[in-house]
Chain A
Amino acid sequence: MLNLVGRRALYSVPVILIASFLTFAFVRATFDPTAKLRQSRESASAIRAERVRLGLNKPLVDQYGSWLGRFLRGDWGTSERTHEAVTAQIGRALGNTTQLVVWGVLVAAVIAVGIGVYSALRQYSLLDYTFTGLTFLGLALPPFWFGLIAIEFLAVGPKQWFHLSDPPLFFIGLHSGGGGILDYARHLVLPVMTLTVQIVAGWSRYQRSSMLDVMSSGYIRTARAKGVPRRRVVLRHGLRNALVPLVTVMALDIGALFGGLIITEKIFSVPGMGKLFIDSLLAGDATTLTAWLVVTAAFIVAFNLLADVAYGWLDPRVRVA
């Protein structure tokens, strides 16, 4: 197992390095870090000095080398937009996005696995057809539309219809100042719901298909024939094997979520990684953009690695191969 982890980790290093170089090169080619000084009509000498300070007069490879060295030492630079340390910006944004991702993935995983298992065991039942229809609906719904509809019907609407002093669910940010756990939960429901709708739709289909495959296997039939209780057959023999492909899909999706919640974060005003990316992109904040892209690439590579490790844990045959 350790060999597997070690090998996979080693393969990840050149991938991240190549991704970081390409990111650095493309951002450098697209945005000028001194553009803000020209906007404020700063003197030509000040702009020249800034270019020297940032090493913009050096060859690209040298610039990348300097940047990589600082990056690995934890110095990710200062945002041209806010003059704040990029590490602080990304750290804060990552904290907010992680909350959404963790809760979203937990809820989505439980629901998706549950739906997938039930649909497989009760194939072609009324509920199976219902779940199938709902998953296709979930896949088709644009998240921005669903988010706004959810706000309208689960927050704003009930407040107006029942003359409440507060909407039952809140939809700005992740907390009100000074609010407790209940306040936090009321803030989380709508963005997590918006996030999980699409995830559950996809994952439940994978789980259903995988479960159907596994439940028709010979060893399952053998277990049933030997009198193993149905619950044990499904959970211990069927589900564990059926989870293998789903885990791979989940790991890939989760890695992408850390940079991909742009719409959800915008609608619910969550200052996460998606919002940071949009703000930095529209402001041409090259320093923040470079770090952001490298961090999200690292997340994707890391979760790929996690998927491989989880795959190996679930299927011992993979560890030996």
Chain B
Amino acid sequence: MHRWLRRAAGLGLSGCALAAVLIPGPAASGLARRVASGGEIVVGAEQEPDCADWIASCAGSSWGVFTMQEQTMPRVFDVVARGRQWVYTPSLLMAGPPVLSTDGGTQVVRYPLNPRAVWSDGAPITSTDFRYTWDQIAHGTDIFDRTGYDRIASVDDSDPHTAVVTFRTSFAGWRQLFGGVYGIYPSHLLQGRDRDNAMKDGYSWSGGPFKVQAWDKGVDVVLVPNPAYWGPRPKASKITFKFLTDTAAEFQAFQGGEINAAYPAPEPDAVRSIKAGLTDASSLVNADTGNIEGLWMNNAVFPLDSVAVRQAIAYSIDRNAIVRLLFGPLGVSGPSNSLNPPILAPYSDQHAFAGYHLDLAKVRQLMTGDGWQRVGGLWQKNGRTAQLTIVSTAADKRRELTEQVLQAQLRRAGFALTVQNRDANTLFGQILPAGSYQLGLYAGVATDLDPGLCTVFCSSNIPTAANGHSGSNYTRTSIPALDPLLQQVDTDNNDATRVQASKAADRILAAQQVALPIDPLPNIAIWSKRVSGVRGDNPVYGMFWNLSQWQLQ
């Protein structure tokens, strides 16, 4: 036989053998091994949490909540839908609803604990865990957010089944405490130890339906059922969150069956992929979220220190067009008209900013009334041109697209806009606190059902050199009539008057145009038809709020 024929035959045989080994048949057990029918579900996670110490400054990551926190940390309240509204409801940790008392002007909350509630090692969840959690957040170092916990005077744990929390000053948002994106910590395991060191790389204990079996950094997090959980047992035998940071690759992984579900951020790539169609999959889009993307204005720098200029900028922007461009294919078309996100609708005037729409005649009227003249296409006043810079997070395609649209719209109205995006750490840790910006494009995110705009708009929270630039009022809003209203929202336990104050504050914010809400950031969920149990989206806990009920058909 000719040598080349022998070689070709040899190569051909080798190729067939390789193909037989590599290519699985329809009944092959590959997927069964990787995502076993009846129990093992793989979910794509777009971001890996930086750490697993949920109260530290390295936390604050939504995917940290989705992958580990909400499945393992016990909490006082769940967030559930009642009709069209989201409400707090006592979780399985509670024997009954917490009782609020304001007798004698002191706010006290009593938490009756479920005697069946235990940690994964069998130790009961007690009031001492409440005390430990409060102590860590209120008095620890490098804590992400102490809001509310710093108003607690004491936690009485003399009765292990009842935690009695006494507040130093009134705090209306008490329902978000000992829950939310923090949870309650096991004092018997962490007392006397370095909590951050013990938790940041993952932890094996749990007070929820799942526990963390493994966190392979950069690869995945694996959850397995917590055998000691006193509530409904999870149906899946294993949940794996695989970290897939590239949206296009994530959708390919979904189409290829490498993952069974995904919760992609509403980026242009994701919108395009959904519009193109998904096979054998279900999807949902939820615009009723805790997120709101806005154009935040530094009220203390020229030319934004003028209300007229801020209003003129608002009238220069066609927010409907931006929302249609970004989320039109998902069926989201209307802009946000309140600086409170959609889940806080009961507390907000949902039409506060509705009057701001594209109106170039109004822009002219406002600017000329403020002493500006249009020269060479741009507004000028006292030799200074209306040149603006905008900052946002780098490498975010949705925001870059929004900035491009804003540049065009503002240019038409007579404003020049330059983009200067930076990394998130520098943006939120340096530029915004230092006030070295004019316009900022970023999202406000509510992680609970309590309004808290005082943090970002009360004048006492303006970051200054005196407070080490540690306040969060980055817009430098200082409106005398606004402060008492927002402070009342934070402290008034009468919901009716609280709502009135919040709506009044909304109207002042709109009238003074301190910032401009642009779009609600919708949540997108996709899952294979083989996965049952997915029941909608939750504004705090995402599509994973009932992960324990998911199973593979």
Contacts and interface: CB of A to CB of B under 8 A. Distances in A.
Given A37-B57, A266-B245, A176 B34 contact: yes
Given A82-B50, A170-B258, A186-B22, A38 B433 contact: yes
A3 interface: no
Provide the main secondary structure of the chain B interface.
Answer: loop
Interface string B16-54: 000001111111111111100000000000000011010
Interface residues of A, number: 63
A80 B520 CA distance: 31
Contacts of A281: 423
Contacts of A162: 23, 26
Contact of A168 (B24, B279, B393): B24
Interface in A38-63: 38-48
A45 B141 CA distance: 11
B468 A44 contact: yes
Size band of the B side of the interface?
35 or more
Nearest to A284: B425
A182 B60 CA distance: 39
Interface stretch (B203-211, B217-225, B260-268, B354-362): B217-225
A175 to B, nearest CB: 8
B34 A166 contact: yes
B218 A182 contact: no
B470 A47 contact: yes
A172 interface: yes
B307 interface: no
Contacts of A30: 426
Nearest to A159: B256
A271 B215 CA distance: 13
A41 B472 contact: yes
Contact of A39 (B21, B22, B28, B428): B428
A160 interface: yes
Interface string B142-178: 1111100000000000000000000000000000000
Contacts, number: 197
Contacts of A278: 395
B189 interface: no
Contact of A173 (B60, B141, B242, B393): B242
A249 interface: no
Contacts of B25: 164-165
Contacts of A173: 219-220, 242
A282 B423 contact: yes
A283 B467 CA distance: 24
Nearest to B200: A83
B495 interface: no
Nearest to B53: A83
B511 interface: no
A284 B426 contact: yes
Nearest to B395: A282
A41 B470 contact: yes
Contacts of A45: 468
Contact of B242 (A41, A165, A269): A269
Given A41-B472, A96-B218, A156 B256 contact: yes
Nearest to A32: B430
Contact of A32 (B29, B51, B426): B426
A247 interface: no
29 contacts: A31-B425, A36-B57, A37-B57, A37-B429, A38-B429, A38-B469, A39-B60, A39-B428, A40-B144, A42-B143, A44-B470, A46-B141, A82-B58, A148-B249, A156-B255, A162-B23, A165-B30, A165-B32, A165-B257, A167-B258, A171-B253, A177-B220, A177-B240, A269-B219, A275-B245, A282-B394, A283-B423, A283-B425, A285-B425
The 10 A-B pairs at the shortest CB distance, nearest first, are namely A271-B218, A44-B468, A35-B429, A284-B425, A166-B30, A40-B57, A156-B256, A165-B31, A284-B423, A39-B428
Given A48-B468, A83-B53, A166-B24, 16 more contacts: A38-B470, A40-B60, A42-B142, A42-B470, A82-B50, A148-B249, A159-B257, A164-B26, A166-B34, A167-B256, A171-B253, A171-B258, A269-B243, A269-B249, A284-B423, A285-B425
